[in-house]
Amino acid sequence: MSALFSPLALRGVTLANRIVVSPMCQYSADEGAATDWHLIHLGQMALSGAGLLCLEATAVEPAGRISPHDLGLWDDRTEAALARVLTAVRAYSRMPVAVQLGHAGRKASSNVPWKGGALLPPEAGGWHPFAPSAVPHKESEPPPQALDAEGLARVRTAFVSAARRAARLGIDAIELHGAHGYLLHQFLSPLANRRTDAYGGSLENRMRFPLEVFDAVRAAFPDDRPVGMRISATDWVEGGWDLDQSIVFARALKAHGADFIDVSSGGVSPLQKITLGAGYQVPFAAAVKAATGMPTVAVGLITQPALAERIVATGEADMVALARGLLYDPRWPWHAAAELGASVEAAPQYWRCQPSGNRQLFGETLTGAR
């Protein structure tokens, strides 16, 4: 039996297999509201045969968007727009749905990637970003506004409000975005956090705000639904956040009731030096899992089914998440199941597409067809 296609339970949510549709920013929202593009994109992903669909980074307040076109979940309008999309998707897919709640911090107010991704000033449709400290992401950029006590409280409350909206939408799980140089990662990394109060300096202090946000979200979300966090295991910069600190933080998350940890890397500094290769971040996930025993997600250039199978079978991680690979091949889980001798759930409208002579790939058998 394929390990990749074995089920996994997280609190009251059971995944049919260990393949996760990773959060993928689409930069296609209308003032935070999901559009028909999200219906098309998420519809494809929900029919992919993966075990879990995680919505893209979803801003908890307008100032927390990466770009003016980011998805959001901060008011009745954005909630209603996402409800429309989810209702349509769920009509044809039983795949559990998670949402990645985040705040871009000093990386907010950026242009969309296909227009260069540079910081947008207010006169060009941007805004003044907030961050742990008045330290810009790039030296050429103006410094962000450091969050004061009132700002910290506002952001915590925004995460809680978004979590409650997610619960009302029937979303099955929440992943907090603590990676890729966004706000919660900025608090963790000494490269971005230069505070001298209780939220800066020591590792314990730098972990304080992300843990406060986690606790607040966990308390606001139903007990039978999992809450986890994505982290960057290393900044890939000397003197920055690293794997040893990540393990300390992961142990703290586990003690606070986290159900899983999604292990990525980088994003907090343009000075990062990353060595790329197939599965290049898997050792980070394996180290975190070995140190904590937490259910762990591995990400990063996992493109071959045999590699994904090995990661799960050897216990390096409990799940694998794909992003670009699924954009290129939205039926990747089907093809992986065929290669690994497993079966996958598919919509009955597609049952007839199985190549003639293959073993039963889909979990259901089409009978009585003419």
Q: Where are the alpha helices (DSSP H) in the chain?
A: 36-46, 76-90, 149-168, 183-188, 203-220, 243-255, 282-292, 305-313, 324-328, 332-340
Place of tokens 């705000």: 209
Strand 8-10 relative to strand 13-15, pairing: antiparallel
Q: Which of 27, 92, 182, 199 is catalytic?
A: 182
Residue type, position 183, single letter: L
Q: What are the structure tokens assigned to 115, written together?
A: 């227009």
- Backbone φ and ψ for 287, nearest 5 degrees, come out as -65, -40
E strands, 104-144, where?
130-131
3-state secondary structure of 15: strand
Rounded to whole angstroms, how far apart are CA atoms 293 and 18?
Answer: 17
DSSP state of 121: P
Rounded to whole angstroms, how far apart are CA atoms 241 and 265?
Answer: 10
Rounded to whole angstroms, how far apart are CA atoms 18 and 2?
Answer: 10
- Backbone φ and ψ for 152, nearest 5 degrees, come out as -60, -45
Residue 256, CA distances (Å) to 51, 100, 165, 178, 206 in order: 26, 19, 22, 15, 16
Residue 358, CA distances (Å) to 325, 350, 368 in order: 24, 15, 19
182 is catalytic: yes
Query: Of the candidates 204, 195, 254, which has an alpha carbon nearest to the alpha carbon of residue 228?
Result: 254
Distance of CA 74 to the CA centre of its chain: 18
Q: Which residues are catalytic?
A: 182
